[in-house]
Structure 1
Amino acid sequence: MFKAAIVGCGDVSIVYAEAIAALGAEIVAVADLDHAAALKLAQKTQATAYFSLQELLAQETIDVLHITTPHDQHIDLALMALKAGVHVLVENPLANELDQAQRLLDYLKENPQAPKIGVCFQNRYNVSSVELRRPLEEGELGEIRGAYASVVWTRTSDYYSAKPWRGQQIRSGGGLLMNQAIHTLDLLQWFLGPVTKVRGEVSTDKYGEIIDVEHSAHAFFTHESGISSSFYGTLANSRHRSVEIELDWENALVKLKDGLTVTWINRAESQVEHYPERTQNSAGRTYWGVSHELLIRDFYGHLDSAKPFWIGPQEALASLRMAKALY
């Protein structure tokens, strides 16, 4: 049985705890600088609470560390664990800044035998993503013409005051693009290919007096193939809307929204195909989806493999670069 630990006992940590328990691994320790948060998660998981990763690594023998801290802590904690011989799965984004991400990439290049490290882009495991990749890779969709994506949610001032790092550029690295839309940016470039040019703007129209990160953005991305995609996102809406990605292919119009809908063009039969998304009970927020467990299970399944985990730091760099280019 694998022994796991979680560092960072905030909102998303309970989703990791559920997923780790579901695959049969044991959570032996949790850690957070916030003592109350560490003790609360320790009680839920029946693990030992620590108040620093240094203390945890000194006292416990673990196989995997899950990093769910604020973004500015990701790289230091990941390097500490890797140097201690521990596999690492880090919550997205990879880092708050590109130079911080580069520190990790340099270490991995210099230490090819380092333990496994993965980055949690769980939406690649969604039904919609998996079912789209099949006809995409088999060439059934024809030539791509363009794409559009949106993330339209709501946030209150209490969201930022409860955890101020969320609204601080120096710690989070950004707002909407880093905290909420990073998955959508990742899927755009995963479906359409690498981004070579970025145009657009970010703004803070509603909470500029309390945060210094954006909560709205629009972008025009040019991909390596020459195809373009458009993005709009905001946290200033009055309610949450479903995340949406629409892709215009020669042979089909494809929409990812609460599942996958493929409307085939010039087909006599089965012109519209719909694949609903999975659902399950979770203590996490509903818009996070339910694919954390699938990614985490897959990561653990790769621990004995000689190959790197397929969503590693280099793969995660693409969406981070998209956000930083827009800034």
Structure 2
Amino acid sequence: MKTFKTGIIGLGTVSRTHRNALAQLDHVELTAVSDVKPEKKDELAEGVHFYQDYEEMLDQEQLDAVHICLPHYLHLPAVTACAKRGINVLLEKPSTMNTAELRQMQALDREYGFKLAVCFQNRLNPTFVKLQELIGSGEYGKLLGVKGVAIWSRNMGYYNAAPWRASMAQAGGGCMINQAIHTLDQLQLLGGPIRSVNGQVCNLALKEIEVEDTAIAHIDFENGVTGTFFGTVTYVKNSSIEVQAVCEKGSFTIKDYGLYYAPAENENEKTLLVRDRRLPGSKTYYGASHVELIRGFYETLAGHEDTCVSIQEDKVISLIEAIRRSSLEGRTILWKEMEEQ
């Protein structure tokens, strides 16, 4: 493999995970970073160039790829800047704030022919990979239903520390697009093509913010599978994410970083099948698959098998918008309505 020269736009919390992952990869060199805060320069290793203006960085450096780790409302402008210069992009979730922006980004991908991949690293967790494999085998009968639960804690200190998180115009949403996006992404992958969505979003505790602190949804899939989702940031701590798939012969549950199986005839007889590796420190909930995802991104750039999640494959933004529209309009949202946008 050639040595890829890489940049990062945005040095917020999640960028540390990207920097740590890049440091573990051969043939990838972090060349430059950009952030509007000049004090962020102090975080960088010697030899990494620092810019406050990312467009200047894109013009001055000969970059093969850029990782975008910005607030949500800045994703589309930054991707546009990279696209016009032919620079490949690995984009932190969420890709965009809404379906209209998603369509613009997908059009950029088609027009400029650069690699635009989205960071859905939890698709690569051993528990989820194994779950997809077991369901796909047919050994456990037909898939009947899927469930996703994300019960976390975010108080006003979280939103006051970065006020854009509380703004619909800048965040695009609350608990769904920020804390539960991976859970919703996994549900739509397991269930398959969506037929319709019913949802409710509200603010149970955080009345001062524009974005939702709680959301629930019922998802009907075309193959007859039923989906149920519940997400909130009103609890006293971050509870384990739970993803469950119910098949005719038994149930599979991902919880506490493990995948468990319980036969239909005895649901109390649970067997641990596989565990995920956990990140050290307080950001364990990020999952530990960033390294694998980022390695796959650069292997794809080198001409190996394409394992990236393309922007064209991103359906979770439309799912989140369908849940919100259902709540606002008080009706069932047909998936074909989202595809026609």
The TM-score with structure 2 as length reference comes to 0.88
Distance (Å, rounded) in 2 between the aligned partners of 1:308 and 1:279: 26
Q: Are 1:12 and 2:9 matched, yes or no?
A: no
> Which sections of structure 1, spanning at least 5 residues, go unmatched?
none
Aligned to 2:199: 200
SS in 1 for 2:117: strand
Distance (Å, rounded) in 2 between the aligned partners of 1:192 and 1:216: 22
> Which sections of structure 2, spanning at least 5 residues, go unmatched?
325-341
Instruction: Render the CA deviation track for 1:81-106: whole Å, top value 9, x for unaligned.
Output: 12212110000111012111111212
SS in 2 for 1:151: strand
Partner of residue 223 from structure 1, selected from 221, 226, 231: 221
**Most deviating of 4-13 and 21-30:** 21-30
Counting aligned pairs with the same residue, the percent is 33
Distance (Å, rounded) in 1 between the aligned partners of 2:19 and 2:304: 26
Call closer, same or farther: CA 1:76–1:45 in 2, change over 3 Å: farther
Q: CA RMSD in A?
A: 1.9
Aligned to 1:253: 251
Distance (Å, rounded) in 2 between the aligned partners of 1:265 and 1:101: 40
Q: CA deviation at 1:266?
A: 6.5
Q: Are 1:312 and 2:284 matched, yes or no?
A: no
Instruction: Render the CA deviation track for 1:141-181: whole Å, top value 9, x for unaligned.
Output: 21111122110000121100111111110011000000010
SS in 1 for 2:322: helix
The amino acid that maps onto 1:294 is E
Aligned to 2:61: 60
Partner of residue 301 from structure 1, selected from 281, 299, 302: 299
Mapping of residues 142-157 of structure 1, within 5 Å: 142-157=141-156
Partner of residue 34 from structure 1, selected from 34, 37, 44: 37
Aligned to 2:128: 129
Distance (Å, rounded) in 1 between the aligned partners of 2:64 and 2:49: 16
Call closer, same or farther: CA 1:202–1:110 in 2, change over 3 Å: same
Instruction: Render the CA deviation track for 1:94-134: whole Å, top value 9, x for unaligned.
Output: 101211111121222334xx221100000001011111122
Distance (Å, rounded) in 2 between the aligned partners of 1:53 and 1:195: 38
Call closer, same or farther: CA 1:167–1:174 in 2, change over 3 Å: same
Q: CA deviation at 1:31?
A: 0.6
Q: 2:117–2:308: 8 Å Cα contact kept in structure 1?
A: yes
Q: Tell me the matched-pair count.
A: 318
Call closer, same or farther: CA 1:108–1:53 in 2, change over 3 Å: same
Instruction: Render the CA deviation track for 1:184-232: whole Å, top value 9, x for unaligned.
Output: 00000111112221112111122222x1000111111111212211111
Instruction: Render the CA deviation track for 1:224-281: whole Å, top value 9, x for unaligned.
Output: 21221111111010111100011110122100112211224469xx983421111343
Q: Are 1:110 and 2:85 matched, yes or no?
A: no
Aligned to 2:238: 240
Call closer, same or farther: CA 1:45–1:66 in 2, change over 3 Å: farther
Q: 2:93–2:120: 8 Å Cα contact kept in structure 1?
A: yes
Mapping of residues 63-212 of structure 1, within 5 Å: 63-111=64-112, 114-209=113-208, 211-212=209-210
Q: CA deviation at 1:306?
A: 8.2
Distance (Å, rounded) in 2 between the aligned partners of 1:78 and 1:289: 25
Q: 2:109–2:116: 8 Å Cα contact kept in structure 1?
A: no
